[in-house]
């Protein structure tokens, strides 16, 4: 497959794309990002890699981090995690409170905010230096020790914490949060603030390729086959919140989006791919990012289906 030709064709096709999306402003620091930024990186299992546009600019990975924190929690706690979080799509926005009340503080899945907040609580209980150790895990799997938190983004989100604070308080009332609420929020906002570029993201997500056995030299990162399979299944069914069905329908790959405008997706056998374009559609997913990935699987005729 000539991926560089495919990416070039996509670039030409999207030149006339009318983007109706809006950059997220509910975290004011994210609102400062240039909406015209656009990058793609594709990392293939044969070792080749292809970049386009601003593929090396770092941005706030936001909810993409939920896949990485979950991976670490599952490595540490295994199946125990599923006593506190479900594995079903929520059919609701990422920050919705309603289901949590009905379902007694057990989040539907680990990729909505409530689920990621429980994962954060688990990591705080399990790790001696939670923020340092999560960051180290991300640096190791991306094989880049320069990756860091963006303290401005984390502080900006803490200042506007009200909805995430409500979710955490409600779950604490149901007994599903063990640590101090502000400590959980501080950890969660830091994980969301991690700044990475498309290339680093595709590298980090190689841990889900080849049944978790893509690169056995990344010892700290290797997931067992069952875990890689399960996390890919969750990305496919829950990675885009209310739009997970649409993403499976039009793209057909496991993936995860973030309100920083990034999307990472992967084909378990062939590649991981990251796209970044800040304007979001009304479900909080990058509008152009979704289009690019749709074109990628359409043109290559490769998807998990």
Q: Which residues are annotated as a binding site for substrate?
A: 63, 113, 157, 164, 188, 241, 259
- Sheet of 49-53: strand order equals 49-53, 39-44, 271-276, 262-267, 255-257
- As measured in angstroms, the least distance from the Cβ of 210 to ligand GLN is 27
Question: Under a CB-based contact definition with an 8 Å cutoff, are residues 214 and 154 in contact?
Answer: no
- Tell me which long-range contacts 152-156 makes (C-beta under 8 A, separation of at least 24): 152/29, 153/27, 153/29, 153/30, 153/60, 153/189, 153/192, 153/193, 153/195, 154/186, 154/189, 154/190, 154/192, 154/193, 155/29, 156/27, 156/28, 156/29, 156/30
Closest by CA position to 118, among listed 133, 102, 100: 100
Residue 63 in the binding site for ligand GLN (CB under 6 A): yes
CB of 136 to ligand GLN, least distance (A): 21
- Report if residue 263 touches ligand GLN, rule: CB under 6 A: no
- Residue position matching structure tokens 């595709």: 202
Please, what's the largest Cα pairwise distance for the chain? 54
Residue from 130, 258, 261, 279 binding ligand GLN (CB under 6 A): 258
| CB 10, min distance to ligand GLN, A | 24
Among 95, 283, 298, 300, binds ligand GLN (CB under 6 A): 95
Query: Shortest distance, CB of residue 42 to ligand GLN, whole angstroms?
Result: 22
In 3-state terms, what secondary structure has residue 265?
strand
Rounded Cα distance, 141 and 218, in Å: 7
Taking CB under 6 A as the rule, does residue 286 contact ligand GLN? no
Q: Which residues are annotated as a binding site?
A: 63, 113, 157, 164, 188, 241, 259
Contact between 181 and ligand GLN (CB under 6 A)? no
Residue 62 engages ligand GLN in binding (rule: CB under 6 A): yes
Alpha-carbon Rg for the chain, nearest whole angstrom, is 18
Instruction: Give min distance, CB of 113 to ligand GLN, in A.
Output: 5
Q: Catalytic: 66?
A: yes
- Please identify which residue in 85, 204, 253, 259 interacts with ligand GLN, judged by CB under 6 A: 259
Binders in 141-180 for ligand GLN, by CB under 6 A: 157, 164
Rule CB under 6 A: say whether 192 interacts with ligand GLN: yes
Q: Is 241 designated active site?
A: yes
Q: Exactly one of 21, 212, 252, 284 binds ligand GLN (CB under 6 A); which one?
A: 284
Does the active-site annotation cover 63? yes
Can you give the length of the chain in residues? 305
- Nearer residue to ligand GLN within complex by CB, 7 or 153: 153
CA distance 45 to 171: 40
Residues 6+ apart with CB under 8 A from 95: 112, 113, 163, 164, 167
159 classed as catalytic: no
Where does this chain bind ligand GLN (CB under 6 A)? 62-63, 94-95, 113, 157, 164, 192, 258-259, 284
């Amino acid at each position: 497959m000539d991926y560089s030709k495919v990416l070039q064709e996509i670039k030409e096709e999207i030149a006339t794309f009318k983007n109706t999306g809006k950059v997220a402003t509910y975290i004011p620091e994210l609102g400062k990002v240039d909406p015209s930024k656009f990058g793609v990186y594709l990392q293939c299992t044969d070792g080749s890699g292809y970049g386009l546009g601003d593929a090396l600019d770092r941005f706030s990975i936001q909810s993409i981090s939920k896949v990485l924190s979950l991976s670490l929690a599952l490595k540490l706690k295994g199946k125990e995690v599923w006593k506190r979080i479900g594995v079903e799509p929520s059919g609701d926005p990422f920050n919705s409170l309603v289901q949590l009340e009905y379902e007694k503080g057990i989040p539907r899945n680990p990729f909505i905010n409530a689920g990621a907040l429980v994962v954060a609580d688990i990591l705080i209980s399990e790790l001696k230096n939670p923020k340092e150790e999560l960051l180290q895990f991300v640096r190791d799997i991306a094989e880049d020790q320069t990756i860091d938190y963006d303290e401005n983004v984390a502080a900006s989100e803490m200042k506007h914490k009200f909805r995430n604070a409500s979710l955490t308080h409600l779950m604490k009332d149901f007994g599903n949060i063990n640590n101090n609420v502000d400590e959980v929020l501080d950890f969660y906002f830091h994980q969301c603030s991690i700044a990475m570029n498309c290339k680093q993201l595709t590298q980090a997500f190689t841990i889900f390729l080849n049944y978790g056995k893509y690169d056995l030299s990344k010892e700290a990162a290797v997931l067992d086959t069952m875990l890689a399979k399960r996390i890919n299944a969750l990305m496919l069914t829950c990675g885009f919140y209310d739009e997970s069905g649409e993403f499976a329908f039009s793209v057909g790959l496991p993936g995860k989006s973030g309100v920083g405008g990034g999307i990472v997706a992967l084909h378990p056998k062939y590649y991981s791919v990251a796209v970044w374009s800040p304007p979001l559609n009304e479900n909080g997913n990058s509008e152009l990012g979704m289009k690019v990935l749709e074109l990628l699987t359409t043109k290559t005729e490769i998807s998990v289906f």
